Amino acid sequence: PIKAFLFDLDGVIVDTAVYHYQAWKRLANELGFDISEEFNERLKGVSRTESLDIILAHGGLTLPDEEKLELASQKNNWYLDLVSRMTAEDILPGVATFFSQVRKAGLQTALGSVSKNAPLILERIGMSAVFDAVIDGNKISKGKPDPEVFTKGAAELEVRPAECVVFEDAVAGVEAGKRGGMFVVGLGSPEVLTQADLVAPSLDVLTVDEVLAKANARP
């Protein structure tokens, strides 16, 4: 049976996915090209350095490592500027209700985010003490779609992957959960999150009982 829920942060708990996109778009524009919302799906859940590589390749640019470091830090500064204005009001609809159901059901929780800024964001939205384990970009060596961020979360909670449900908004994150051997709930569009076991537009329309029933019925 399911014992733990593992949550991505950006785009699941809080809408920072939009801020990542805005900051990357600004960077691309300064480099002389643009990135679309559709292209941005490829960046979701992917680490900062890998995202930059994907963007530069899209713009047909090859740059020395030094310059890439500078661009990545420029993007992060713009991103942090947007994040610094965040409060608990930026928590996505349905998250608070869902988490109270999670507690009542006696489930454990972990955060599984590739973001190095995850602890800062949790603090800004007042959710630092909510998770039983927090695995973020500072604790892992391989980003999504590698399952490391979720398998580490399961290990810290002392549960098996088959006892976990992953909540993800990113194609790379859904793949990470599946590769980790977990039941994956995709939050977004079924046309985009094709690998997910269950897809809903957001946590707002899901109940813990419904997710547990589907995940526990998995063959």
Binding residues for substrate, as ranges, are 8-10, 24, 43-48, 51, 75, 113-117, 144
Alpha helices in 14-109 (DSSP H): 16-30, 37-40, 48-58, 65-83, 95-104
> Shortest distance, CB of residue 10 to Mg ion, whole angstroms?
4
Alpha-carbon distance of 78 to 90, in angstroms, equals 18
**How many Cα atoms occupy the beta-carbon half-sphere of 99 within 13 Å?**
18
Contact between 175 and Mg ion (CB under 5 A)?
no
Contact between 44 and ligand G6P (CB under 6 A)?
yes
Q: Among the candidate windows 41-49, 97-105, 157-165, 175-183, which touches ligand G6P by CB under 6 A? A: 41-49
**Is the Cβ–Cβ distance between 197 and 218 less than 8 Å?**
yes
Q: Return the number of the residue (161 or 177) whose C-beta is nearest Mg ion.
A: 177
For residues 151 to 190, the per-residue mask of contacts with ligand G6P, x marking binding by CB under 6 A and - elsewhere, is: -------------------x--------------------
- Please, which residues have CB within 8 angstroms of residue 70's CB and are 6 or more apart in sequence? none
Contact between 20 and ligand G6P (CB under 6 A)?
yes
Alpha-carbon distance of 94 to 109, in angstroms, equals 16
Size of the site for ligand G6P (CB under 6 A): 18
Q: Return the number of the residue (94 or 137) whose C-beta is nearest ligand G6P.
A: 137
Lookup result for tokens 């350095």? 49
Q: Which 114-153 residues touch ligand G6P, going by CB under 6 A?
A: 114-117, 137
DSSP one-letter string for 183-214: EEEEES-TTT-TT-SEEES-GGG--HHHHHHH
Q: Among the candidate windows 140-148, 151-159, 163-171, 180-188, which touches Mg ion by CB under 5 A? A: 163-171
Question: Cα(first)–Cα(last) distance of the chain, in Å?
Answer: 12
Residues that bind ligand G6P (CB under 6 A): 10, 17, 20, 43-48, 51, 76, 113-117, 137, 170
Residues that bind Mg ion (CB under 5 A): 8, 10-11, 169-170
